[in-house]
Amino acid sequence: MKTSHRKKIKLALRYIAVVALTILFLFPIYWLFMISFKTANEIYAYPPVWWPETLQLSNYRVLFEDGDAATVGNSLIVAGVSTIFAMILGTICAYSLARFKTGGEHLANWIISQRMIPPIAIVFPVFLLYVWFGMVDTYFGLILLYTAFNLPYVIWMMRGYIMDIPISLEQAALVDGYTRWQVVWKVVFPMCRAGLFATAIFTFVFAWNDFIFALVLTRTDVATYTVQVTHYFGGQSNFWGKISAMSVLGTLPIFFIVAFMQKYLVRGISLGAVKG
Amino acid sequence: MKNKRPLSQLILGDRGFKYQLIAPSIFILLLIGIFPLIYTLLVSFQGITMMDNDTSFHGLQNYTALGTDTRLWEALMHTIIFTCIALPIELLLGLLMAQLFIDKLPGRQIFIALLVLPVVVAPVVSGATWSLLLDTRFGPINQILGWFTGEEVTLLWTINPDLVYPSILAAEIWQWTPFMFLLLLAALSAVDKSQLEAASIDGAGYWTTFFKIVLPAIWPVMAVAILIRGLDLFRLFDIVWALTRGGPGTMTETISIFTYVKGFQQFETSYTGAVALLIIILLSVLVIGALKKVEIAR
Amino acid sequence: MHAVKGVDLEIPKGEFTVLVGQSGCGKSTLLRTIAGLEEIDEGSIEIDGEVVNDVAPKDRDIAMVFQNYALYPYMTVFDNIAFGLRARKTPKVEIEEKVAEASRMLSIDHLLERYPRQLSGGQLQRVAIGRAIVRQARIYLFDEPLSNLDAQLRDEMRGEIKRLHRELGKTMIYVTHDQIEAMTMADRIVLLRDGKIEQQGSPLDLYERPATKYVAGFLGSPSMNFIDGMVTENKVTINNSNHSLDIPEQIKNKLTSHANKAIIVGIRPEHFSRADIANHQQYSKLSVNIELVQPTGSRSYVTFRLGQNPAVAELRPQDLLGHNTTIELSVDMSRVIYIDPITEMTI
């Protein structure tokens, strides 16, 4: 068989496999989204309905009317603010580690080890502390925790990105008369923009999707959407409409971010592996 | 804005500067990392339970209780089982998927973007979604199985002791295989093509090339991937919580769920403190051991 | 967009053929097509009379040396060299013999237990060559193997590879962008330009009888001077100057069709001499103003102008003694080539 024919057949087979895999992996997401648009009758129809008669938004309306949708807002506040804090503080710390080797190997290793502690082991002590200080179910408390938990990741990643930037740019700026702080803001931050984006996305998504920290540290005021979803799990009757609608509300923003920042996300994961 | 800096300062650098940079981060890490830990250590030596706010010194009582707590060690074992099954499957599947994408493929970017979606869904949502999929009556999984067997399938995925592990594993593998896939794709793309060409000219077959050239080249990334996912699997909570709450009974209770139950449902505060510290110590030992292995391999 | 188009090439057995040209001219693509690493859209490749279009690289009985060595980093030098033999299930004893012989030939037998990361550039290249020759293939392909080495190493390795060719006597096809490598190493040069063969022949052929202006300007360092002029009765007058060159008798016929038309004259730097000591059979004299002198020790390169064109002459250092601003040069007219300005082909 001619090589070119063989190649075409191989390509066709690969394509079929790729399409099949994509369908397989996307099916659960499709199902989730689809349920959120179904009426109660359709949801609890037997055999299961694969495509709703009409796309109706009553499940969503309920969430907004009950005020449950506000939990997405909580997620946004908590994840957004903690990401900003973690990125700023973490990057300047990373700069110190990268350029001045502050604290040497020991500090770097200690920082990365902080990320390896299982959340449950962190959240329990933190919970005790928060109870003492009355910080349970507060924005500040949750933001503080997310910031702290994400710092090691940010520091580690940004350190790698900064080390890739040639130091000559900063030296030139210093010679030009910039102060060291100015060099950080005006030279370093812009130069590692790509790394900043990728790391920020990861940090945000991590905080956004977190469950266990929010479960322990929130009650009613600051409940994030992940916690809210589990409120609809009942003993016998799960409020599937609400579960799926709430899930979609919480997942859609992330999908948009991924769609727009897809390039950075993929680069972030791959570079993360190389640097890790 | 340009300042004229004395040459001496240029040469010596700002010595305080580097500490200023790390100060806020270190402060926060200590605040959240160290102080609560110390507090927990103290609490673990006390006798605080649901009933009793006993803050007197109880010595190592809580720690010795750890040894005899079968539920604890079962939870640990459940966690290890999950890890040991999910990790290899994710690795293998991720590798196979990466192989598919390595050569030119029209629409590559789109497919990759779509395949990444499971990773960015919240694990809780992943668990919730799969509980919908696996529902006995209204879930499509049973329906699809019914098409194959020709009769009605009413498997109780989240209740039947024989089925709960596959259920949880399905959700976990579904969510995280694309992560492995991305990582391994990056690693495979980085393999020096000319080495592969040299091998093909030298006469090496597909498997020889894979095991002798590709695998050693992607091993560093694989090792990192295994470490990251291994750690994540150790903390398995969200997916299990959403699907089975650790049940039936305590069959699928992971170590994180066990700790949560003990601390936040049974309010055995002091004992939980001991458990938390045990987990930290256990994990530190494992991680240090794993890192040493990686160092030696290098 | 084809990298190589309409190439019709025959490579004689046992010869050292060099594919040379600028970056992007298609020489590497051509080599890789011979290797089987690139596909042919149209046409055929035959090795020893057998059509190999659809034959996989490993079945073509070829060996290749890559520009970046392409050594396997996780294997020792021995394993790297033995890799191909092992893949073909050669018996262990034979493998050891052949690797020993190849490594001795390349003076790397003391490095067999080392890993690639422990070796220098020159050593790595020898290992790569060793891996190629150990298999005793019928064709050896070299893809710019010396580009990553520094100048001195390159000189050394050029000689080594030429020596290898003499010893092994196999067909070798060598790709480079360096015209010095091409000139010194080739039995035959194939000069490629934009995916087509500009000219092929022995090095001296291309040097002394270039077919086009491109070939003339490509080979030779410093490159040939191109002077714009006009053909009049017996001379070529140089544009924008008082200078003219006498056309030798035997050339006059060839230029009749160019009478009173523009022409480009090609003179190599070494075809200039100081007029009073030159002994050219056929010559023209030029009196020029020296703009720049660049001495290299053994030679001095004098830059001057002929009309609008800058020109370089290669003289001996002593020729310039006492000449600071002007010098009278003699041009060896028997060596001068004439180029049609429109077709850019030599006449």
Tens-place pLDDT, residues C44-79:
888 888 888 888 888 899 999 999 889 999 899 999
Which residues lie closer than 8 Å to C25 by C-beta, 6 or more apart? C192, C193, C194, C195
Tell me whether B4 touches chain A (CB under 8 Å).
yes
Q: Within a domain: residue B1?
A: no
The whole-chain average pLDDT of chain B stands at 86
Q: How many CB pairs under 8 A join B and C?
A: 63
pLDDT band at B1 (very low <50, low <70, confident <90, very high): very low
Q: What is the pLDDT of residues B170-217, one digit of tens each?
A: 999 999 999 999 999 989 998 989 999 999 998 888 888 899 899 999
Tell me whether A240 touches chain B (CB under 8 Å).
yes
CATH number at B268 reads 1.10.3720.10
Distance CA B67, CA B79 (A): 18
Instruction: Look at A241 and B3; give whichever has higher pLDDT.
Output: A241
Distance CA C28, CA C150 (A): 21
Q: Within a domain: residue B33?
A: no
Q: What is the pLDDT of residue A77?
A: 93
Tell me whether C54 touches chain A (CB under 8 Å).
yes
Q: Within a domain: residue B78?
A: yes
Q: In which element (H, E) is residue C167 found?
A: helix C151-168
Q: Domain of B162?
A: 60-293
pLDDT band at B103 (very low <50, low <70, confident <90, very high): confident
Q: Within a domain: residue B13?
A: no
Q: What is the pLDDT of residues B18-74, one digit of tens each?
A: 888 888 999 999 888 888 888 888 888 887 777 777 777 877 888 888 888 889 999
The half-sphere exposure of B281 on its side-chain side, counting CA atoms within 13 A, is 8
Q: What is the pLDDT of residues B125-156, one digit of tens each?
A: 999 999 989 988 888 888 888 888 888 888 88
Picking from B202, B209, B218 by the largest number of C CB atoms within 10 A of its own CB, the best residue to mutate is B202
Burial class (CB in 10 A: 0-12, 13-18, 19+), B206: exposed
The half-sphere exposure of A29 on its side-chain side, counting CA atoms within 13 A, is 22
Measured from the Cβ of residue A144, the count of other Cβ atoms closer than 10 Å reads: 21
Q: Within a domain: residue B205?
A: yes
Distance CA A71, CA A249 (A): 10
Amino acid at the residue B258: F
Q: What is the pLDDT of residue A276?
A: 46
> In the predicted model, is pLDDT for residue B168 greater than 90?
yes
Task: Look at phi and psi of residue C130 and say left if phi exceeds 0, alpha if psi is from -120 to 50, else beta.
Answer: alpha
Rounded to the nearest angstrom, the minimum Cα separation between C164 and chain A is 34
> In the predicted model, is pLDDT for residue B2 greater than 70?
no
Residues in chain C within 8 Å Cβ distance of A10: none
Q: In which element (H, E) is residue B117 found?
A: helix B108-120
In chain C, which residues have pLDDT < 50? Answer: none
Q: What is the pLDDT of residue B297?
A: 59
Q: Percent of chain C, pLDDT > 90? A: 51
The whole-chain average pLDDT of chain A stands at 86
What sign for the dihedral angle of Cα A259, A264, A265, A266? positive
pLDDT band at A275 (very low <50, low <70, confident <90, very high): low
Per the structure, how many domains does chain B have? Answer: 1
Q: Within a domain: residue B201?
A: yes
Residues in chain C within 8 Å Cβ distance of B205: 87
Q: Within a domain: residue B29?
A: no
What number is the ipTM of this complex?
0.86
Q: What is the pLDDT of residue B6?
A: 56
DSSP of chain A, one letter per residue? --HHHHHHHHHHHHHHHHHHHHHHHHHHHHHHHHHHTS-HHHHT-SSPPSS-SS---HHHHHHHHHTTTHHHHHHHHHHHHHHHHHHHHHHHHHHHHHHH-TTHHHHHHHHHHHHTS-HHHHHHHHHHHHHHHT-TT-HHHHHHHHHHHHHHHHHHHHHHHHHHS-THHHHHHHHHT--HHHIIIIIIHHHTHHHHHHHHHHHHHHHHH--HHHHHH-SSSS--HHHHHHHT--SS---HHHHHHHHHHHHHHHHHHHHHHHHHHHHHHHHHHHH-
Rounded to the nearest angstrom, the minimum Cα separation between C49 and chain A is 19
DSSP of C65-101, one letter per residue? E-TT----TTS-HHHHHHHHHHHTT--HHHHHHHHHH
3-state class (DSSP) for residue B51 = coil
Tell me whether A168 touches chain C (CB under 8 Å).
no
Distance CA A220, CA C227 (A): 89
Q: What is the pLDDT of residue B74?
A: 92
Q: Within a domain: residue B36?
A: no
Q: What is the pLDDT of residues C216-257, one digit of tens each?
A: 999 998 999 999 998 887 888 888 888 888 888 888 888 888
